[in-house]
């Protein structure tokens, strides 16, 4: 239950007592916060049913609510709006109840689900770059939010490790080093444990091989044949493939770790490949799949379509499989091994057609319900020129270089603001990393997921305004107040007793957490939670400026205000954690 749920139930009882639908008591945040904190508009639709004046109905409801412990004032405004102000005693009790040191009033899903969230998607042999950033940041935050809300969530990186790029790499290496044992068709192993190339070699080879295949039909044919032989199980090619994957994954794990992004599964397209023959036979037997120009396709168009919906190529004319087939097989694999209630894909907007095709195909095949598959697409992170973020030279910026860049800028900003002074070098560098990553993540998450946004490092690195560094500083300031109170022997945080406007405003923001978390969960939109974090930091700043805490003379007020500081710090740190931000102990 959330605060609005509780208030709606109370007002709903009053409507029911008047012989009206209980649902008319739905409460919302007031449109005029200068007049009230909450409002109910149910008297207007009630009037149509009861054939009465809406103000008459609203006044009857207000009379029933007047004098209750929850409200200090209930009034009627305009054509029949019911304005509600909460009593200080009710507010105090609600904040006290939320100050549990764990959930801090956070909403909990009444019917938890088992969910798989696919939010990585990097390709083997290519270094992570800024294009991988949004999927990782948004996916990690959603995973944490869903888990905290009660769901059982499995995060899968879903590597691109089985497509044409593998054949391009194998054929490129064969041209460079044809005498390697992996290319001896008569050899079936064992093969060396150490890879024949380094990660640096692998990253250099990929763009060369890709460009050569595009420019030269003969090279493209070699790559296609190598891909087919790999997928058919040629031992030497499988051994090379494993080396490529191991080298790439080790580098990916380091980059993801620096972003505080973790995956439960490191599966890829290759893990689904063994299912392809079985699924092909099954789909043929049930006439879901058909042959077209030597390829095996699934037609997914519907009569109601208003746009062209191309068929899926499940197996191409050369017998190789692509992303459509492996994505269908991956859903089947997840169904068999994890049996999730829902599968979420955090993948950019350019893949909307692809996932619509895949979702339709698995529904048509009876493998998994389309309504339980969600493509949580996102927009593009652009540079100040409005185009996808690039290096100054126009190239794609590696994620490793990007993380280093924001960390260096964070260190500069810390020094400019006189922060992290007198700490050891290691601690200062770690604080800089936390601040830099917070700036990066909050800049991304604070924008609606479906929107493009401009990445402005100088603006997002500021310690004032709606930024990650500002929120980290707010967290550290709350912690500092509590530490100062402890050192001054000012007493422990105690029961909440609200008496001042700044306390009321802070309490209302704290109690809004449950509604915010539910909305974030239902809409899969982390920016809603970002707005709450900023509102909470602002409300505490006003409270900090208006109300004495450590040096408050009245022991009861001092304990109450320290209690408000304690729950604010706890809830703020929790929200930051759900967003994937890690606040330092000091700054």
Nearest to 568, CA basis, from 497, 474, 498:
474
Tell me which of 93-102, 412-421, 467-476 is least confident: 412-421
Among residues of the chain, what percentage have pLDDT more than 90? 88
* Element containing residue 115 per DSSP (H, E): strand 114-118
Distance CA 503, CA 561 (A): 8
Question: pLDDT-based confidence at 193, cuts 50/70/90?
Answer: very high
Do the beta carbons of residue 517 and residue 106 sit within 8 Å?
yes
Distance CA 122, CA 53 (A): 62
Distance CA 236, CA 37 (A): 70
Strand extents, DSSP E, 284-405 = 290-292, 295-298, 312-315, 342-345, 373-375, 381-382
Q: How many CB atoms lie within 10 A of CB 217?
A: 9
| Residue 91 resides in a domain | no
pLDDT at residue 407 is higher than 90: yes
CA distance between the termini of the chain: 36
- Longest Cα–Cα distance of the chain, Å, equals 93
Same domain, 146 and 281: yes
Question: What is the secondary structure of 17-31 as a DSSP string?
Answer: HTTS-GGGG-EEE-S
pLDDT at residue 129 is higher than 90: no
Which domain does 567 fall in, by range?
399-579
pTM: 0.94
| Residue 316 resides in a domain | yes
Do the beta carbons of residue 468 and residue 447 sit within 8 Å?
no
Q: What digits encode the pLDDT tens for the residues 6-29?
A: 999 999 999 999 999 999 999 999
| Residue 101 resides in a domain | no
Average pLDDT over residues 462-481: 96
Do the beta carbons of residue 249 and residue 106 sit within 8 Å?
no
Same domain, 342 and 364: yes
Structure letter (DSSP) for residue 54? H
Same domain, 407 and 507: yes
* Element containing residue 573 per DSSP (H, E): helix 555-579
CATH assignment of the domain containing 479: 1.10.730.10
Task: Provide the domain count of the chain.
Answer: 4
Same domain, 148 and 187: no
pLDDT at residue 393 is higher than 80: no
Do the beta carbons of residue 428 and residue 414 sit within 8 Å?
yes
Nearest to 280, CA basis, from 292, 269, 289, 293:
289
* Element containing residue 72 per DSSP (H, E): strand 71-77
pLDDT value at residue 82: 98
Distance CA 235, CA 189 (A): 7
pLDDT at residue 320 is higher than 90: no
Q: Estimate to the nearest angstrom the gap between the alpha carbon of 35 and the chain centroid.
A: 36
Last residue of a domain, one of 66, 86, 106: 86
| Residue 393 resides in a domain | no
State the number of CA atoms in the 13 A half-sphere of 80 facing the CB: 19
Q: What is the mean pLDDT of the chain?
A: 94
Among residues of the chain, what percentage have pLDDT more than 70? 99
Question: pLDDT-based confidence at 391, cuts 50/70/90?
Answer: low
Question: pLDDT-based confidence at 421, cuts 50/70/90?
Answer: confident
Do the beta carbons of residue 345 and residue 375 sit within 8 Å?
yes
Same domain, 242 and 339: no
Q: Round the CA-based radius of gyration of the chain to a whole number and report it.
A: 29
pLDDT value at residue 392: 61
* Element containing residue 564 per DSSP (H, E): helix 555-579
| Residue 390 resides in a domain | no
pLDDT at residue 395 is higher than 80: no
Last residue of a domain, one of 61, 86, 111: 86
Same domain, 247 and 353: no
Do the beta carbons of residue 406 and residue 412 sit within 8 Å?
no
Same domain, 352 and 460: no
Same domain, 288 and 149: yes
pLDDT value at residue 127: 87
Same domain, 414 and 520: yes
Distance CA 325, CA 444 (A): 32
* Element containing residue 259 per DSSP (H, E): none
Structure letter (DSSP) for residue 233? T
| Residue 364 resides in a domain | yes
Same domain, 361 and 251: no
Strand extents, DSSP E, 409-565 = 453-454
Q: For residues 571 and 273, which has the higher predicted lDDT (pLDDT)?
A: 571
Q: What digits encode the pLDDT tens for the residues 489-537?
A: 999 999 999 999 999 999 999 999 999 999 999 999 999 999 999 999 9
Question: pLDDT-based confidence at 394, cuts 50/70/90?
Answer: low
CATH assignment of the domain containing 63: 3.30.1360.70
Do the beta carbons of residue 539 and residue 506 sit within 8 Å?
yes
Do the beta carbons of residue 182 and residue 144 sit within 8 Å?
no
pLDDT at residue 481 is higher than 80: yes
CATH assignment of the domain containing 303: 3.40.50.620
pLDDT value at residue 450: 96
Nearest to 530, CA basis, from 579, 564, 477, 482:
579
| Residue 113 resides in a domain | no
Q: What digits encode the pLDDT tens for the residues 328-344?
A: 999 999 999 999 999 99
pLDDT value at residue 131: 85
Peptide bond connecting 422 to the previous residue in cis, omega within 30 degrees of 0 = no
Virtual CA dihedral for 486, 490, 491, 494, nearest 10 degrees? -100
State the number of CA atoms in the 13 A half-sphere of 68 facing the CB: 17
At residue 139, φ and ψ (nearest 5 deg) are -60, -45
Last residue of a domain, one of 41, 65, 86: 86
Q: How many CB atoms lie within 10 A of CB 306?
A: 5
Triad 334, 338, 344: Cα angle to 5°: 60
Burial class (CB in 10 A: 0-12, 13-18, 19+), 334: buried
Same domain, 155 and 168: no
Average pLDDT over residues 207-230: 94
| Residue 222 resides in a domain | yes
pLDDT value at residue 44: 96
Same domain, 131 and 155: yes
Distance CA 30, CA 46 (A): 19
Q: For residues 395 and 430, which has the higher predicted lDDT (pLDDT)?
A: 430
Do the beta carbons of residue 196 and residue 182 sit within 8 Å?
yes
């Amino acid at each position: 239950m959330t605060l609005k749920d509780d208030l709606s139930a109370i007002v709903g009882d009053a409507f029911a007592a008047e012989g009206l639908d209980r649902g008319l008591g739905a409460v919302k945040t007031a449109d005029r916060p200068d007049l009230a904190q909450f409002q109910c508009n149910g008297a207007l639709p009630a009037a149509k049913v009861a054939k009465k004046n809406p103000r008459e109905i609203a006044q009857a409801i207000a009379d029933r609510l007047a004098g209750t412990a929850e409200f200090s004032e209930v009034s009627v405004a305009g054509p029949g709006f019911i304005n509600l102000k909460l009593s200080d005693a009710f507010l105090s009790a609600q904040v006290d109840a939320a100050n549990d040191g764990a959930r801090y009033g956070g909403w909990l899903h009444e019917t938890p689900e088992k969910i798989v969230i696919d939010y990585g998607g990097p390709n083997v042999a290519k270094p992570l770059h800024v294009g991988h950033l949004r999927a990782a940041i948004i996916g990690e935050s959603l995973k944490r939010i869903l888990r905290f809300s009660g769901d059982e969530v499995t995060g899968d990186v879903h590597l691109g490790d089985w497509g044409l790029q593998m054949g391009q790499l194998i054929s490129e290496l064969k041209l460079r080093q044809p005498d390697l044992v992996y290319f001896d068709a008569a050899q079936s192993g064992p093969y060396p444990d150490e890879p024949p190339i380094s990660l640096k070699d692998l990253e250099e080879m990929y763009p060369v091989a890709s460009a050569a295949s595009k420019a030269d039909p003969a090279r493209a044919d070699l790559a296609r044949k190598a891909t087919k032989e790999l997928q058919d199980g040629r031992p030497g090619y499988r051994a090379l493939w494993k080396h490529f994957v191991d080298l790439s994954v080790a580098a990916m794990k380091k980059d993801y770790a620096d972003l505080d992004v973790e995956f439960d599964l490191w599966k890829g397209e290759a893990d689904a490949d063994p299912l392809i023959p079985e699924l092909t036979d099954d789909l043929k037997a049930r006439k879901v799949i058909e042959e077209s120009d030597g390829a095996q396709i699934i037609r997914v168009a519907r009569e109601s379509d208003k746009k062209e919906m191309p068929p899926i190529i499940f197996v191409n004319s050369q017998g190789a499989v692509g992303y459509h087939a492996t994505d269908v097989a991956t859903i089947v694999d997840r169904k068999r091994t994890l049996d999730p209630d829902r599968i979420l894909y955090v993948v950019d907007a350019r893949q909307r057609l692809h996932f619509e095709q895949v979702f339709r195909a698995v529904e048509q095949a009876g493998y998994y319900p389309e309504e339980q598959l969600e493509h949580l697409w996102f927009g593009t992170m652009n540079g100040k020129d409005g185009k996808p973020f690039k290096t100054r030279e126009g190239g794609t910026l590696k994620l490793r270089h990007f993380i280093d860049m924001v960390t260096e800028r964070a260190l500069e900003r810390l020094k400019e603001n006189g922060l992290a002074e007198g700490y050891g070098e290691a601690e200062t560098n770690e604080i800089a990393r936390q601040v830099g990553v917070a700036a990066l993540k909050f800049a991304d998450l604070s924008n609606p997921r479906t929107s493009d946004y401009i990445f402005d490092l100088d603006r997002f690195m500021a310690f004032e305004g709606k930024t990650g560094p500002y929120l980290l500083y707010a967290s550290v300031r709350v912690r500092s107040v509590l530490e100062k109170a402890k050192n001054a022997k000012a007493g422990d945080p105690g029961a909440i007793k609200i008496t001042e406007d700044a306390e009321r405003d802070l309490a209302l923001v704290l109690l809004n957490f449950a509604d915010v978390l539910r909305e974030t969960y239902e809409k899969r939109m982390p920016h809603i939670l970002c707005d709450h974090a900023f509102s909470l930091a602002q409300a505490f700043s006003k409270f900090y400026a208006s109300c004495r805490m450590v040096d408050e003379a009245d022991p009861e007020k001092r304990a109450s205000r320290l209690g408000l500081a304690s729950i604010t710090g706890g809830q703020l740190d929790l929200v930051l954690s759900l967003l994937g931000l890690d606040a330092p102990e000091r700054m």
